[in-house]
């Protein structure tokens, strides 16, 4: 009865992170964008809807530096602020 464990027979195959998983920014390439976003959140009492421009800039930085998979900003929920400032929405 041989119950030899063959741990060395399988090799680990790395794969890119799943959507929503971010590699660490080891070199701090997007740190200033992250800090700007976090300051906005603190200043706006953590209402993330009020910091969408900062969030968009941070995600764009990550995509440009291959820290996340490129994704159209429309798919990330930024369709209404694609050309700069958010559209004015009057709810009167």
Q: What is the pLDDT of residues 23-67, one digit of tens each?
A: 788 899 999 999 999 999 999 999 999 999 999 999 999 999 998
Spatial separation of the C-alpha atoms in residues 28 and 11, rounded to whole Å: 32
Residue with tokens 């399988």: 10
Whether 14 is in a domain gets the answer no
* Residue 49: domain span: 26-81
> Is the residue at 31 inside a domain?
yes
3-state secondary structure of 30: coil
The answer to whether residue 4 is domain-embedded is no
Residue 9 lies in a domain: no
Residue 36 lies in a domain: yes
Q: How far apart are the C-alpha atoms of 92 and 47, rounded to whole Å?
A: 21
Domains: count for the chain: 1
Residue 33 lies in a domain: yes
User: In Å, what is the CA distance from 38 to each residue of 4, 22, 69, 78?
Assistant: 53, 17, 22, 18
Does the model's pTM come out above 0.75?
no
pLDDT in tens, 66-80: 988 898 999 988 988
Q: Looking at the domain assignment, is residue 90 inside a domain?
A: no
88 found inside a domain: no
């Amino acid at each position: 009865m041989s119950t030899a464990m063959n741990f060395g027979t399988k090799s680990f195959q790395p794969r890119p992170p799943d959507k929503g998983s971010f590699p660490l920014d080891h070199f701090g390439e997007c740190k200033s964008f992250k800090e700007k976003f976090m300051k906005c959140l603190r200043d706006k009492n953590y209402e993330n809807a009020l910091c969408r421009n900062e969030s968009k800039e941070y995600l764009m930085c990550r995509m440009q530096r291959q820290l996340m998979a490129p994704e159209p900003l429309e798919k990330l929920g930024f369709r209404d602020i694609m050309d700069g400032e958010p559209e004015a929405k009057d709810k009167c």
